[in-house]
Chains A and B, each alone.
Chain A
Amino acid sequence: MTVDPGASAERTRLAWRRTGLSAAAVALLAVRPAFSPAAGPGTYLMAAGALAGWAALVALAYRRARGLALDPPRPGERTITAYAGITVAFAILATVLVTL
């Protein structure tokens, strides 16, 4: 048993969780135009992409929580790069949505 009075694994797990909650706000804003009466197929496609991206972010956070539950916790590797990649994809998707 490693002594970790700073609870760093738990704090990291919670940091993943609140990042997922921030991503939920972005995903909901990206889905909102799909409910407008003027919505076209492009808007529906972007909404579906945003929800799929959000699901992927939450899945990555759950996968990461398993590595953090080990003793000693495993540091993040490719999960971190994938998470940043999906965030960049969100930025591109939102830019397309605004210019539609």
Chain B
Amino acid sequence: MFTSLVDNPQVLDQWFNPQKTPVVGEKPDYRFSLANERTFLAWIRTALALLAGGLACAQFLPPLPIAHLREGIAIALLLLGGVVALRAVDHWARTERAMRLGADLPKSRFPAILALVVAFGALLLVVAVVIKAAG
């Protein structure tokens, strides 16, 4: 997910000054940069949705049969939201850099991992609801 942190130690500088680093490469068509920016914003909305879901779990769910499961789900969703936001800015900076260099756009397993984590969480909640209904 954060492979660029290993590959490229100036990645933090890249987050803040994507137009200046690297010195090589040239400015892409602004429409491509704006498309990259909208993708970033879509990921930020995903992060915000996870945060809203986490807060809603903590505030609106009744206590679940497994002790602290409600708080656990809420905190997992909130931390996942934070990770999604961090990964959003990292992916945006890497895409910007690739476009400047005319390289292939960065590939990522993150969407698949996020989907699996969310599916696992949903399954966990289904099990909790079934246990509650049976007991």
Contacts and interface: CB of A to CB of B under 8 A. Distances in A.
Contact of A15 (B19, B42, B81): B42
A63 to B, nearest CB: 14
Given A26-B52, A80-B92, A99-B75, A75 B81 contact: no
A11 B59 CA distance: 34
Interface residues of B, number: 41
- The majority secondary structure among interface residues of chain A is helix
Contacts of A4: 31
Interface residues of A, number: 41
B25 interface: no
A40 interface: no
B41 A19 contact: yes
A90 B83 CA distance: 12
Contacts of B49: 22
A23 B75 CA distance: 18
B44 A83 contact: yes
Interface stretch (B10-18, B101-109, B118-126): B10-18
A66 interface: no
B34 A73 contact: yes
